[in-house]
Amino acid sequence: MYKACIFDLDGTLTDTLDSLTFSVNETMKEMGLLEITREQCRMFVGNGSKVLLEKALQASGKDAAGRLEEALLRYERIFRTGCTYHVVPYDGITELLAELKAAGIKTAVLSNKPDSNARSVVEEIFGTDMFAWVQGQKEDVPRKPDPAAAIEIAKRLDALPSETIYIGDSEVDIATGTAAKMKTIGVSWGFRTKEALKEAGAGLIIDSPKEIMEFIKNREVESHE
């Protein structure tokens, strides 16, 4: 029986692509560099703001690659106020979270977004009572796909890895959940294609949030047979 679900944030719970594209492009404009497209941003996200900006700078031209520290400082300031720009939960997510809570299954968020930004987004979009734990990237914690944070969060939720489902939309998430020895589910509505998730080793890919609850209920039935 599953006791906990750990969710990625961007591309899994919330559609943040407009927010990320806006913040990157405001940074690029301040630096006098070429902006990136929405589709470029979709492919650049997943490994935190540093990697996102590294890829954005590379796309802007080779002469911009040495300006990463400047870009990070500007982006941090811009994103602090723009992290919820056009951000909305994906269809069915709010209902899923309520159903999980009613079933006594604890939920948490683990994101490669900076910790303060991750908590701000979750609080504004979902309130303060929906998740038992919310964690973004911290300086003293290895970034996903290292499984350490996911394993520690499961402990906080009083669940073993085998009792925890990890849910995400990218190859980073598939690697994280797999390394943590959790049941790992890829979602097709996020920033990566089904093909990319399959190539990353996803054993189960779902097309709608309601399938998560269906999966849990089916496993409960099987465990009693």
CA 223, CA 119: separation in Å to the nearest integer? Answer: 35
Task: Specify whether domain 4-15+88-224 bears CATH 3.20.20.70.
Answer: no
Token pair of 85, please?
């720009």
Largest CA distance in the chain: 64
Q: Which fold has domain 17-82?
A: DNA polymerase; domain 1 (1.10.150)
Could you read off the pLDDT tens digit of each residue along the chain, which spans 225 residues? Answer: 899 999 999 999 999 889 899 999 999 999 999 999 999 999 898 788 889 999 999 998 767 778 999 999 999 899 888 777 788 999 999 999 999 999 999 999 999 988 998 999 999 999 999 999 999 999 899 999 999 999 999 999 999 999 999 999 999 999 999 999 999 999 999 999 999 999 999 999 999 999 999 999 987 756 545
Domain positions in the chain: 4-15+88-224, 17-82
pLDDT tens digits for 155-173? 999 999 999 999 999 999 9
Where does the chain have alpha helices with state H?
Answer: 17-30, 38-44, 49-60, 68-82, 93-102, 115-126, 148-156, 171-179, 194-199, 210-224
